[in-house]
Chains A and B, each alone.
Chain A
Amino acid sequence: MIKSDTDFIQLKKQADLEWEKVVHCKTPVITVGTATCGRSAGSLEVLETLNVSLKAAGVKHTMIEVGCIGLCYAEPLVTVIMPDRPPIIYGGITPKNAGELVDGYVLGENPLPQYALGTIGEARVEGISPFDSLNVVHPQVRRIMKKCGIIDPTNMLHYIANGGYSGLSRAVKLKPPDIIEEMKESGLRGRGGAGFPTGMKWEFALKQESEKKFIVCNADEGDPGAFMNRSVLEGDPHAVLEGILIAGYTIGASDGYIYCRAEYPLALDRLRLAIRQAEESGFIGENILGSGFNFHVKIKEGAGAFVCGEETALIASIEGKRGMPNTRPPYPAISGLWGKPTIINNVETLASVSLIFQNSAEWFNRYGTEKSKGTKTFSLAGRVKNTGLIEVPLGITLREIINDIGGGIPDDKKFKAVQTGGPSGGCIPESLLDTPVDYDSLKQAGAIMGSGGMIVMDESTCMVDIARYFLDFTQKESCGECVPCRLGTRQMLDILIDITEGRGRPGDIDLLEELAQGIKMGSLCALGQTAPNPVLTTIRYFRDEYEAHIERKMCPAKVCKALISYHISPERCIGCQRCFKVCPAQAISGKPKEVHSIDPEKCIKCGLCFSVCPSKAHAVEIHTGELAQQTVI
């Protein structure tokens, strides 16, 4: 039990020794990224194979399961630390080539540059670039994610050795108003999406007089394609706990809740373990670090409702009610959980709090813009070469993220748009790619920062279809409480479905805009207030695509099934029969070496013929608009 500075220093020493065993190991240390993303890529099998091979070879080694380093495209990731050699990160390791790693590098001296991503630290290995110099890593500033994929998330000592809990240790010696001053100085704004200054929020709650106050960590990451918080919880759970504790001490709360979605079983396991460890060592409990501060943390599993990420709905859910939002004011900082002052901060916000107090406000705001300080994690997904989790200084441009970190668009396709902020955000076109990524600039562009989802789309994406996709999500996730959101999102979806299916009517665009304004202004909570954003931004930047769908029954991206037809060019068909063989509807006829044709009556537009047509022939064409209708006729 840590009850004094001396105790803490003692523990830190112990932690340093533990960490030494990893970085300056005597026997091989192998780390495998076994966060959810790694596991889905097969990392557990890789780990097993490595263990078996090493055992067979009689090598005494240490195997550590670590979190996610962020390079999803290169999973499963394995890091090999050999005594007196620089650690090397390998990507794309499968049970098949895992043995090579053992034979080549652990038993031998071949660093296997063909699998290596990079080396960690100053020392160099010939033929392998330093990890930090990789194009995908170089523009990043990794702070929140610094320890993710590096330390053992189940070993609290690894966290402590890397500066963990020194922030709490410092904070509990400060007076709450001073902490708030430091928070304000850091310029940290809520990472959940709205970007409200965290220090100010805490100040409201501090000023409330109440015998009971609460801290809630919002870990209900619900945006499709967003997984930043999951990675932090899986890879560095104590960072979040430390933030919760600092927040709790500051406002005078006695209890904290982590509201985490049940779809994150591994994150929940890691959190439960971390809470137990923190309780056992005295970071959670009574008289924390001898400061007189008492605090307990509970986990509440969410049942998978997107709206429960909205803070008032989240409160209702913790209280055991149906997760439906409430009007604000009063804001939760004044009257939240069970009517008591409650601070709700997102996972990343709280992890940032730990960093601010482990380092300093000045250290934190070294990066960022005037109004958006620090770094921010994003999950970069969609049509980019390097998908994954990234952390960048605020103010970086979208272009830098997509082209430099993301490596641009694969398959020589053209960039079309990037969606930020998930279903509440908007689509930003190429003309605005130099928009700096900060709260205010993104808002100006019609999107939002959101919690950090970033989906890149290329020319093969239909923007009306994308709008339909997001509306489909929001209308399903609407809690149904207020009229504009319940009926309005469904109405907009129905219109978008009509447009994508060729039933769009003149006037529909105006109608969508009219509805969108009414829903934005009229809805009770942020879900409804932002749900029309994807529609509004796509209309704003891609109006011509809407018009094409409505007026010419044409899908320029050739995505909307009702508006396209498949056709085989007689000039180019080589009669290879590949399409004939795969067609599930027997819609293609044609003998070998003869020109094939598609029966439009039978065609179900699955696109298989298009995808199997040899690239040298390129005979299957997609028609849309008048051409498609002619084909059909």
Chain B
Amino acid sequence: MADVHLTIDGVEIRAPEDYSVLEAALENDIYIPHLCYHPDLKPSGVCRLCMVEINGRKIDVSCKTPVQNGMTVRTDTPEVNRIRRVTAELLFINHPSDCLSCSWNNRCELQKIVNFIGIDPDHVGMLRKTEKDLPVDDSNPFFLYDPNMCVLCGICVRTCDEIVGVGNLDFAFRGFNSVVSTFRNQPLLESRCVSCGECVVRCPVSALRPKEVPASTREVKTTCPYCGVGCSIFLGVRGEKIIGARVDRDSIVNRGRLCVKGRFGHEFINHPDRLTTPLIKRNGKFEEASWDEALDLVADEFSKHRGEEFAAFSSAKCTNEDNYIVQKFTRAVMGTNNIDHCARLCHAPSVTGLVQSFGSGAMTNSIGEIPDANCIFAIGTNTTAAHPVIAYDIKEAVRRGGKLIVANPREIDLCEYADIFIQHAPGTDVALLMGMMRVILDENLHDREFIENRCEGFDAFKESLGAFDLPSVEKITGVPADLIKEAAVTYATFKPGMLLYAMGITQHTHGTDNVLATSNIALLTGNVGKRSSGVNPLRGQNNVQGACDMGALPNVYPGYQNVAVPAIKKKFEDAWACALSDRPGITHVEIFDAVLEGKIKALYQVGENPVLSEANSQHVIDAVEKLDFFVVQDIFLTETAQYADVVLPAASYAEKDGTFTNTERRVQRVRKAINPVGQSKPDWKITCEIAQRMGKLGFDFVHPSEIMSEITALTPSYGGIMYERLEKQGLQWPCTAKDSEGTPYLHAEFFARPGGKGKFLPLIYKPPAELPDDTYPLVLTTERSLFHFHTATMTRKGGLKTLRSHEDVLMNPADARVLKLKDGEMVNVISRRGMVQAPVKITDSSPKGVVSMTFHFAESPTNRITNSALDPVAKIPETKVCAVKVEKASLEKDSLEKTRVKKAR
């Protein structure tokens, strides 16, 4: 974009031609008072304070006047000052003037403006003051809305619309009585508010303000510990405690935005329930123990179970360094490859699938490329709930004119933005996608050149499409053929197109096939290997990508280097100075089976809660009860930890250094903000100390950066990752050398497969393992709440629990009528594997015949009833589909009332 030259108050400046006069001025450190302008939002020009004189002729708002070559701007003429002064005085006289006792003192934009413009006390004395006394809305646990403080700049209204895409706020009433309001003036908690706080941080006065705003003594930049987006944040520290978080506006990942968890969900760090000392179970009861006592016991017991009797679970919540150490410990000290982690339960098919077709199992593109896509195909991802910041980008793409296709069995919030919404039956993704591909081929919309030059296996694949004629696909999926056709044509026409998916694709017995279907459709349309064009598995946990990268998997060393390849084994044997097993270990679900079969006797569980998170979780409980020795290392005494023989207190992400790798393969720094709580220690350190007690060398790291150096040396894709290079924005792997800038999108010229071609894979449709029948007539599918994370060990510790307090069984009104259920009534949800209880929530968002539940609530452990049938390749259990029946719970009315929680969203 060309620059233009203009003068402001006689100073010659240059500015890009799409700048407004206000933007040009501010960027050149020329202050023009403004209240309604915010750099993240489109200018509205309503505060009328940024008036300037343009070319000596007219006076206009600078925020909406574009710069022009040769323009002369004056910001301080008598006329300009007079208009501004009247406006400022009017604002001042209608605003409470208790500045010193206001929590926003010195941060308030109105204060700054009044100071700058200067008001005439005589004048102000003459003005008539009207006291407003409007009720304050303090329903939200984290922030309040005080309309008496509001200056109606509209920043919150525009933020909720333009950034968050929820549109919960707007102006109500007219003239002097105008207020910012939710629909029908509902309290924020009962409105559509997603509590992200984006409006709160942009409010220039104290109308929307955090409930508690102690000033921090210092701030530490780090990476959010929740989902895989990996937002950069600053943790506020006061004394020895974390008091809050704020966004890192310079981050390329979240670009100034956060979600409710990232902004407010840090109360767990200093929560009284944190584990502070090691615990040893004696006579069925936990007793506090010293580190020496606990570690000696662990080392002793582990020594008895070296080899295939041992297995370890690492954690997608821990740092890369923690994960590297756990897998190194398992392989080098315990002599087995029985190491896995919860990626097995979420994105294992992404790895097994995308590795086959593209050669790499990660997101092909960067988050920042989403807004530029002309088509977004979001299948099996409830993005607003699970990856809220990515959802902002999807909505941004739509606002820029891009098409959005949403395919989901449930009507999710994203549908509001969608051009096309496909509500297919759970587990019919292969049929849907193959049907779309057949349309694309029939309509001649495939990318011939791309297929010819960059792909292989097309003919066999094409043949397999034969079975997916639209009438058959309509029958399988329940989606009208016309809609499938429309979606296919849209995806194949509007390029570049990005396909996004999450658990809806992977958590199936045919999860790998589902993933292959997504890669097939991308290859068919040439939608991969370019900016804003590719297949993007959205990773669930903050470091699930990193945990996989670090080799916390039974078949690969760090960097997906196969344990069965002798040369690779040799490389690691040399580096770690020990003999290693070339026998791939067993996977997550298989480990518990092996425990029940008596093959595995000792288990080292780092930062995971399978008693709640694993499908058919009763078999987990049975297994852990059977173990000879069970060690759990975590920050809280989780449901799983209750079964442990020894519990080791770990430091949270805020108490340690390290790195997380986010969903777009970006390795980012995690920085220690406070000392570990109590006697807790960073995970890597605990594991190292066990290894050292077991006599192994190579675990004497002083700082995680030393661990990263070892990772770098052994992992080609991390070859250029060094802490000092991660300071600003992190680096996206592959980053093979010290001078590599990383890779924003994959497969630009060659696919990462041997031979460099992308591979089409023929597919057949396989129904889910368990389908409804007369006894279990409904399908249960699992979902996520925006307000909780995983098994909610971190999110049920503070205000988030107010926002969503309990489990709900979402059910279509038609099914509820058949079962004679009323909204909020307690029900039993029963499968072949067990029963859980929760209140029913009747909603059209759930299709007929389908009920859905989260797995965040220990009182309603949904995974007791889910199906652990596995995908044969990825070994992921089918948590997205199982057959259930629902019946009215036969609880006494009293206890029902007790269980029901008052405020539910």
Contact = CB atoms under 8 A, between A and B. Distances in A.
A518 B154 contact: no
B841 to A, nearest CB: 30
Interface in B46-81: 46-49, 51, 59, 61, 64, 79
Given A327-B45, A515-B86, A490 B171 contact: no
Contacts of A511: 123, 126-127
A477 B86 contact: no
B173 A480 contact: yes
A521 B174 contact: no
Contact of A487 (B79, B82, B84, B176): B176
Contact of B175 (A476, A505, A517): A476
A537 interface: no
Contacts of B171: 322, 324, 479-481
A486 B178 contact: yes
A483 B153 CA distance: 8
A494 B85 CA distance: 19
Contacts of B282: none
Nearest to A305: B174
A38 B93 CA distance: 48
Interface string B157-183: 000000000000011011111100000
Contacts of A488: 86-87, 90
Interface hub of A484, A505, A517 (most chain B Cβ within 10 A): A484
A185 interface: no
Given A481-B154, A490-B175, A518-B82, A523 B127 contact: no
Contacts of B127: 491, 511
A502 to B, nearest CB: 15
A518 B82 CA distance: 7
A487 B90 contact: yes
A372 to B, nearest CB: 25
Nearest to A488: B90
Interface in A458-511: 475-484, 486-491, 494-495, 498, 505, 507-508, 511
Given A487-B94, A518-B82, A479 B126 contact: no
B152 interface: yes
Nearest to A508: B126
Kindly state the interface size class of chain A when it binds its partner.
35 or more
Contact of B91 (A327, A483, A517, A524): A483
A514 interface: yes
B130 interface: yes
A498 B130 CA distance: 13
Nearest to A528: B48
Given A481-B154, A508-B126, A518 B174 contact: no
A521 B59 contact: yes
Contacts of A519: 86
B538 to A, nearest CB: 32
Contacts of B61: 327
B118 to A, nearest CB: 15
B207 to A, nearest CB: 15
A522 B178 contact: no
B441 interface: no
A340 to B, nearest CB: 14
B501 to A, nearest CB: 33
Contacts of B45: 327, 482, 524
B178 A479 contact: yes
A498 B128 CA distance: 9
B90 A482 contact: no
A343 B678 CA distance: 71
Contact of B128 (A305, A324, A495): A495
Contacts of B47: 482-483
Interface residues of B, number: 38
A324 B178 CA distance: 12
A519 B86 CA distance: 8
Given A480-B177, A486-B176, A521 B83 contact: yes
B48 A524 contact: yes
B853 to A, nearest CB: 36
A518 B175 contact: no
A480 B152 contact: yes
A305 B178 CA distance: 14
**Dominant SS among interface residues on chain B:** mixed
A113 B92 CA distance: 67
A523 B60 CA distance: 10
B317 to A, nearest CB: 43
A77 B170 CA distance: 48
Given A327-B61, A484-B87, A495-B128, A522 B175 contact: no
Interface in B446-467: none
Given A481-B154, A505-B126, A507-B126, A489 B90 contact: no
A495 to B, nearest CB: 6
Contacts of B174: 305, 476-480
B25 to A, nearest CB: 18
B46 A482 contact: yes
Contacts of A478: 174-176
Contacts of A490: 130, 175-176
Contacts of B49: 483
Nearest to A519: B86
Interface hub of A475, A498, A505, A522 (most chain B Cβ within 10 A): A522
B765 to A, nearest CB: 42
A606 B176 CA distance: 30
A518 B86 contact: yes
Contacts of B128: 491, 494-495, 498
Contact of B79 (A481, A482, A484, A521): A521
Interface hub of B83, B128, B178 (most chain A Cβ within 10 A): B128
B48 A522 contact: yes
Contacts of A522: 48, 51, 83-84, 86-87
A280 B32 CA distance: 58
A93 to B, nearest CB: 42
B90 A480 contact: no
B167 to A, nearest CB: 10
Contacts of B85: 518
A482 B60 CA distance: 14
A525 to B, nearest CB: 10
Contact of B87 (A481, A489, A518): A518
A483 B130 contact: no
Contact of B152 (A475, A486, A489, A515): A486
Interface in A566-618: none
Contact of B82 (A305, A324, A508, A517): A517
A497 B59 CA distance: 31
Interface in A10-50: none
Contacts of B151: 483
Contacts of B35: 483
Nearest to A514: B86
A36 to B, nearest CB: 25
Nearest to B129: A494
A429 to B, nearest CB: 27
Contacts of B176: 475, 478, 480, 486-487, 489-490
A322 to B, nearest CB: 6
Interface hub of A327, A476, A498, A507 (most chain B Cβ within 10 A): A327
B90 A484 contact: yes
B9 to A, nearest CB: 20
Interface of B: 35, 44-49, 51, 59, 61, 64, 79, 82-87, 90-91, 93-94, 123, 126-128, 130, 151-152, 154, 170-171, 173-178
Given A487-B93, A522-B86, 9 more contacts: A475-B176, A477-B175, A480-B178, A481-B46, A483-B46, A483-B47, A491-B93, A514-B123, A521-B59
21 contacts: A477-B175, A478-B176, A479-B171, A479-B174, A480-B152, A480-B173, A480-B178, A481-B152, A481-B178, A483-B152, A484-B86, A486-B152, A486-B178, A487-B90, A487-B93, A490-B175, A491-B127, A505-B126, A507-B126, A522-B84, A522-B86
7 closest A-B pairs by beta carbon, nearest first, are A518-B86, A480-B178, A478-B175, A494-B128, A490-B176, A487-B90, A327-B45
